[in-house]
């Protein structure tokens, strides 16, 4: 894991992009995620739906599970989640349930974006927890990873 305090949003996204590249090389949709707490990257994961035969094996879900185990607490109130694609409704629900403090996402998710594009679970005042959202970090690079993958794999 990376133990460097005060990384910029771009540097954090670079770590998530590295995970997305691992996913792409494994034939998975290239989405990567990392969790930062107190200046330390404590967990990093990528999509594994194909490998695990699990529709819930999104990068965000997997990295939240790893972080909660490492912290020995389901409440990740000091955590920042960095992910290359804006989370879907399932992942936004997991983010809400784990009380993540902040989410930084890369590419907007025009099909299912739930932290700003289609829905905004992160700041909905009807929910009992709100999350700071920063979207569009390295958006072009994150979008290109996904569009290139689908161009090759879904012809």
Task: Tell me which residues are annotated as active site.
Answer: 60
d(C-alpha 122, C-alpha 13), whole Å: 19
**Among all chains, which residue has been given the structure tokens 């025009």?**
110
Distances in whole angstroms, Cα of residue 151 to Cα of each of 25, 28, 40, 148: 15, 13, 35, 5
User: Kindly report the CA angle at 21 between 17 and 24, in degrees rounded to 5?
Assistant: 135
């Amino acid at each position: 894991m990376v133990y460097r305090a005060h990384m910029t949003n771009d540097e954090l996204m670079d770590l998530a992009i590295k995970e997305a590249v691992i996913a792409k090389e494994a034939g998975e949709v290239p989405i990567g995620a990392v969790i930062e707490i107190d200046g330390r990257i404590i967990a990093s994961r990528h999509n594994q739906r194909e490998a695990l035969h699990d529709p819930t094996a999104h990068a965000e879900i997997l990295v939240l599970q790893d972080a909660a185990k490492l912290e020995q607490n389901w409440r990740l109130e000091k955590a920042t989640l960095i992910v290359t694609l804006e989370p879907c409704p399932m992942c936004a629900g997991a983010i809400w349930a784990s009380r993540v403090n902040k989410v930084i996402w890369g590419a907007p998710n025009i099909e299912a974006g739930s932290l700003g594009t289609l829905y905004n679970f992160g700041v909905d005042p009807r929910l009992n927890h709100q999350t700071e959202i920063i979207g569009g970090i390295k958006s072009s690079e994150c979008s290109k990873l996904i569009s290139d993958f689908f161009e090759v794999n879904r012809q």
